Every structure is written in structure tokens, then in C-alpha cells.
Chains A and B, each alone.
Chain A
Amino acid sequence: MSLLSIEDLHVHFVGEDRLGRPVTARALNGVSLTLEQGERLGLVGETGAGKSLTVQALMGLLRAPARLVRGRALFEGVDLLALDEAKLNRLRGAAISMVVQSPKTSLDPVRRIGDQIVRIQQAHAPVSRAQAWRRAIDLLEKVGVADAERRAMAYPHQFSGGMAQRVLIAMALANRPRLIVADEPTTGLDATVQAQVLDLLTSLVREEGASLLVITHDIGVVAHYCDKVAVMFAGVIVESGPVEQVFGAPAHPYTQALLAATPERIEAGGKAPRAGLPPNLRALPEGCVYSDRCPIADASCRTEPPQRLLALGHQALCHHVAPQREALA
């Protein structure tokens, strides 16, 4: 049994147009992905692809007008999407924890850092304050906060962005989660600080035997910190597999375009791909969601593309998969 298995997840936004007629934006259109224990999975794709929405659905954080249309998200065999609020609350922040993009806004500005780490422990287990405080100090030391005893007494505004991000990681680890979901955990941090935070996050994940689902725009982060990658376009995972295979021989035309767009590839003499417009979620094309932008689309692409297995664990959703061998060579 996989630790996490998302199956055929569909989420729509239902609203009205200017004339009051109902319109549906199909934001997630059958997302499926699996994550094994101890694995680090990177979820990539252009802005608006549905990456954050996928984890929101998973964590039970969808709010109207978002509507879960169908799908399952099995965590250790239990469907998260069918749990009631109380049961979800027991999992969130404990067995599953989350690190979000903006550390400053996800910390309580008027509460000491140490107290915030105490509260998250006490919310899930009957631990004494003294015991929870000791663990808070331990965790702060673990995430590289020097002089943790004293810094635990500080308030969030006294921390730099990189420091605050480390505090969030400490909080995410507090209840020994089995799954950590990180939505752009280092966006906005400087390269050297980003490296400090990612090293920390992945080594802690490894030590604790937890799994990591990380959302990022940065292809380099996936290349160096993840085992597997899932590529998303218009609410569909169009390609997934081991990082070395997907990046070494991308098979889906969108993955190929995404990788060709890095400065490194352009420098190597590659031609920058045509960008094209973002997909219109209210009027997605029939068949393949990428067909409006795909350079090799033909008539067959107006029907649902098949899931093609390319190698063990490497698959792409396309009528005309053509692995681009040694794409990065």
C-alpha cells in the first residue's frame, strides 16, 4: 500500500458569467499520483496549473466556490476526502503536516516562537508544557537556530525570512509526521539561504523516514532534492516518474517544453519554446488538455490520450509519446 495515493481527483469552480449563466472552471481534471514511504516527490507546472489546489483538496482545505467533483486521496488506506472535520483535524499537523510559502504570515505575530511550537504539540497529544517546551528547543536546534533557548522567547518579527522558514519546518516536524507537504517552501529566499533550508528539510525527512511532497517552480530544486517528479498542466498530471528518467528523457511535449525553457538549455544552444497562452479552464479543448499549445497535435489528440508506460514507474499521458533521449546532455 502506498503512503499516499491520489486517484482521479476532479475539482471545479462553479460561478456565473456576466449574464448570470452558470459557468464551470475545470481546475483539476483527474489528478492521480502516488507517494511511497520515504520518497520525495516534486510537483511542477506553470502558474495556475492546479498544484496548490491539489494539496488544498488533500488537506481538506477546499472552500466554496471550489467543488470536489470526484476522486479519492488515500493516506495509509484511509480516504482523506471522505473524513469528517474532526478526524481530519486529528491528522493535520500530526501525521500530515504542511510547510507553506509565506512564513511570516503563517506564524502568529503576537505569540513567542517557542509557545507556537508548544501549542502545536499540545493540540495533538496530552504532553506537559515543560516537556513540549524542551522538544521545541530540540527542534529549533535541529533546524539550525543557534542559541535556541533564547531565540524561542523571540517573536516572529525578530526573525529573518530564512529563519522564520526554519521555524515553520520545526513546527511541521513537531508531531513526527509521516507526510510533509511543502508548497513552494523556498520561493522568495536567496539562493544560499534556499540551499540551507532545503538541505535541512530533506535531511530531516530522511532521518525521520517521512515522505515529502514539494511544490515548486524551480526545476533545479526537483533535480537535486527529489526522487520522483510529477508534471502538471491544466489540472492533469501529464508525466511522472523518477527524476533522472523524466528529466533525462522527457516524453510528454509539455515536459519537453518546460525543460527546454531553462537558461541552461538555451545557453547550450537550444531554441526557446513558444510560450502560448495559459489554458482556458472554462473551455478546455476536447481530448488532450495540451492540444491547443502542442506543436505535434493532430486529429487523434481530440480524443482522450492514453497513459503510456515508458519504463518502470515512468509514464506520460499522450497519443504520440516520443522520448527525447538525453534532453539535458
Chain B
Amino acid sequence: MTEPSQAPLLEVSGLSKVFETPAGPLKAVNAVDFILREGEALGLVGESGSGKSTIGRLVLRLLEPSAGAVRFDGTDLAALPPEAMRRLRRDVQVVFQDPWAALNPRLTIGYQIEEPLRLHTSLSAAERASRIAEIVERTRLSAALLARHPADLSGGQLQRACIARALVTRPRLLVLDEPTSSLDLSVRAGILELLGELKRDLGVATIFISHDLGTIKLICDRVMVLYLGTVVETGTTAELFAAPRHPYTMALMSAHLSPDPRQRRRRILLRGEIPSPLNLPGGCVFASRCPASLEACHAQRPPLVALDHARSVACLRAGDDLASLMGAHT
């Protein structure tokens, strides 16, 4: 069932989501395409409301797409019969931002880690116990915590429990939606270290959603940058961080504050407002804040164009020397 195939593990094409709201249709995700290979980690970054979580929920099938397809292991998820859907629940797991909300306060930690095994596999009680012992060790949760209830654990321990629960079925794809942003800096560090280790040792493919560029850089192989539900740039982490090509990516990176006060930043000062997703502009989604915008940018939406085998950018001026045009300040 898990024999290696040439096809990517996950193939997303033309994915769109429109929410019907009292104020009218809200375009949360607009024609997003991407692929994810076995063992690869893809980072989703972008402003709040840019559609990162919605993409995660569409991939997990927690939301129905308005258009487009999600293919997992070569099969279109929309066409999956119930039995295959059960298998999918085992193969695709998620960790959310808030570990306090993700766990049931009345059930023990051990029970909740075992739950997906009971629901999505036919393992015997003994097999389940050995799986749990293994994952508890991996996530460095002490076995003594299993008998406790969520209220008796710290935030970091709770998030480890959520990660253990997500990994206990040995999924092939893990969606992590801001798994560390509700945690204290010192707790966060331990979780990041754990995620890096799991990726190395278990080879789970990961979609990692985060605001924090430092974290993305640490965990991901490739990055996809979103703005108002639209992919504006994708590339390998190393290349994208070394030389961002889309004006928004440049601004985002220049706004990242490194903890080293001596590190001088070339800062790009943005002005202007983010448009409402209820009323998207007809042209480039970034045009209202882009320091390099031209008349033409307001007239037509630039398509995502491949610059080379690894990098794609949605900008009319992708061919120009934008870095010097962006007005970076020191």
C-alpha cells in the first residue's frame, strides 16, 4: 500500500475556496496549485487571513473546495469511497495551534493518544500499546503523563501529546497549523527540535503553516508565500530566503526581526492598506502596498510563472531588478 510511486504524495490543482458570508462571497483561496513529495516539508507563510489554514483544512478534507482537486497518492479525495476515507484519516494527520482546545479536558492523555488507533486501524490492544510506548518515547513525553488529564500538563507537554496523537497512526502526511505560536519561547524551542528530528527519522511529508520565518527556515525544504489567498511566490527554502523575487516576499523578509541587534537590516517600508477579501482588486493583489507597482499592475492579475525549475513568481515585473527598486532602507 505504501510502495514508493513516481507520483507525488499530494497534488493540489486549481484549489479555490469561497465562503458565503452575510457580507457577500469571501474569496479565501484562489486557484492554488502545489505538489508535495514523500518526506518533504512545505512551509506556508503569509499575512493573517491569507488562506493558510483554509488550505490546510481543504487538504485534510475538513472543508469542501469550491473548485479544484486534491489528489493524495494519485487518488482524487472527492471521489474516495468511505472505506478509503478511513484509511486517509490514518494517513493524514493534523496538529493545530492551540493544544488546550485540541484535547478533551475530561479524558486522559493516554486515552486520547490511543484514540486514532482505535478509530482508524484494526490493531490489537497489545499492538496499540506498543505503538503508544514507541511514540511516547519519540516525543519525549514521560509515560507517567499518560494517566493525567490535560489540565495537569504544561503547554509544551500538551503540544507534545497532540504531536504524539497525530503520529501514532504513522501518517504519511502531517499538517501543522502554527504548532508553536501559542507556546512560550523556551517551550517552543523544544517542540521545534522534536519536529526536526521526526522529519529526519520518520520521513513524514509535512505542510507547515507559520507566521514565523525563522521557524519556517528551520523546518521546511520548500516555501509557498501567500497573499490574500493567492500564491505570490514559491521556491526552495534556501533560494527563497537568499534571494526573494516577489516584492511582497521581499517586504516580509525585510520585516523579520532577527534576535541579533548587530545584524543590520535592509528594511522595505510599506505603506497602504491590505484590501478586503470580500472585495479583491482586479489586478495584482499586492498592488495597493507594492513599492514597485506600475499602472499595468492594477489592470491585470499576474499569473504564477516559473523562473526556473524551482522558483515561481506572480509579478508583472519579475524580470526587472526589483531589489533596487524596492527602496530598502538600512
Contacts and interface: CB of A to CB of B under 8 A. Distances in A.
Contact of A247 (B213, B252, B260, B273): B260
A221 B257 contact: yes
B214 interface: yes
A258 B261 contact: no
Interface residues of B, number: 42
Contact of A191 (B185, B190, B213, B262): B213
A275 B259 contact: no
Given A217-B185, A267-B218, A247 B47 contact: no
Contact of B193 (A247, A248, A272): A272
B81 to A, nearest CB: 41
A101 to B, nearest CB: 15
Interface in A244-297: 244, 247-248, 257-267, 272-278
Contact of A259 (B214, B259, B270, B274): B259
Interface stretch (A2-10, A18-26, A194-202): A194-202
Contacts of B248: 192
A264 B193 CA distance: 12
Contacts of A262: 185, 189, 214, 259
A82 interface: no
Interface of A: 46-47, 144, 146, 160, 162-163, 188-196, 199, 217-221, 223-224, 243-244, 247-248, 257-267, 272-278, 328
Nearest to A293: B186
B154 interface: yes
Contacts of A276: 186
Contact of B262 (A188, A261, A328): A328
Contacts of A273: 186, 189
A196 B289 CA distance: 12
B269 interface: yes
A254 to B, nearest CB: 9
Given A190-B47, A272-B189, A160 B273 contact: yes
A278 B259 CA distance: 23
A244 B193 CA distance: 27
Contacts of A196: 269-271
B251 interface: yes
B192 interface: yes
A223 B257 contact: yes
B256 A190 contact: no
A259 B260 CA distance: 10
